[in-house]
Amino acid sequence: MDALNMLVGSITIFVLALFLGNELITKVPPTLHTPLMSGSNAISGITIVGAIISAGAEHGELAKYLGFAAVIFATLNVVGGFMVTHRMLGMFKRKG
């Protein structure tokens, strides 16, 4: 029964976070639509946590290589995403 309880706990977190996300981002000015997208996209690169564990754990070769490829893609997503968002936001400034 323990596994089931843990699953329900995870689902609880999932559902609450969905609602939270919905409340957080109700009114976004159009100016910020693109940065919000690229910034939130960088956050979805959180899969990197799983990728690091797969690439670095003590187990079969194949899982390690899959983890390695995942680290590359997730890092690209994270680093590129946060940087390009920062670059874009730097352009939004008052003139003069």
Partner 1 sequence: MHLHPTIINIAYLIASVLFIVGLKGLSHPKTAVRGNFLGGLGMLIAMVVTLLDRNVVDFKWIILGLAIGTLIGVIMAVKIEMTAMPQLVALFNGFGGIASVLVAGAALYETQEQLPPGAVGEAVAKVTAALGTTAPGPSMQLLVATVASGIIGAVTFTGSLIAFAKLQEIKAIDKIKKFPGQSVFNVLLFAGSAVVGAYVCVDPSQVQMYWVIAALGGILGIFLTTPIGGADMPVVIALLNSYSGIAASATGFVLDNNVLIIAGSLVGASGIILTSIMCKAMNRSLWAVLFGTMDTSSGPSADDVYAGKIKATSAEELAMMLEMAQRVVIVPGYGLAVAQAQHAVRDLTNLLTDRGITVEFGIHPVAGRMPGHMNVLLAEADISYEALKEMDEINPTFEQVDVVIVIGANDVVNPVARTDPKSPIAGMPILDVDKARTVIIVKRSLSPGFAGIPNPLFAADNALMFFGDAKKALIDLNAAIKAG
Q: Which of residues 71-90 bind partner 1 (CB under 8 A)?
A: 71-90
Closest separation between CB of residue 5 and partner 1, Å? 11
Size of residue set near partner 1 by CB under 8 A: 87
Matching residue, tokens 């680290």: 71
Using CB atoms within 10 Å of the CB of residue 89, give its burial: 0 to 12 exposed, 13 to 18 middle, 19+ buried. middle
Closest separation between CB of residue 92 and partner 1, Å? 5
Compute the Cα dihedral for 64, 65, 71, 73 and give only its sign.
negative
DSSP labels, 50-73: HHHHHHHSSS-HHHHHHHHHHHHH
Closest separation between CB of residue 61 and partner 1, Å? 10
Residue 5 lies near partner 1 (rule: CB under 8 A): no
Q: In the stretch 10-49, what mask flags binding to partner 1 with x, by CB under 8 A?
A: x--xxx-xxxxxx-xxxxxxxxxxxxxxxxxxxxxxxxxx
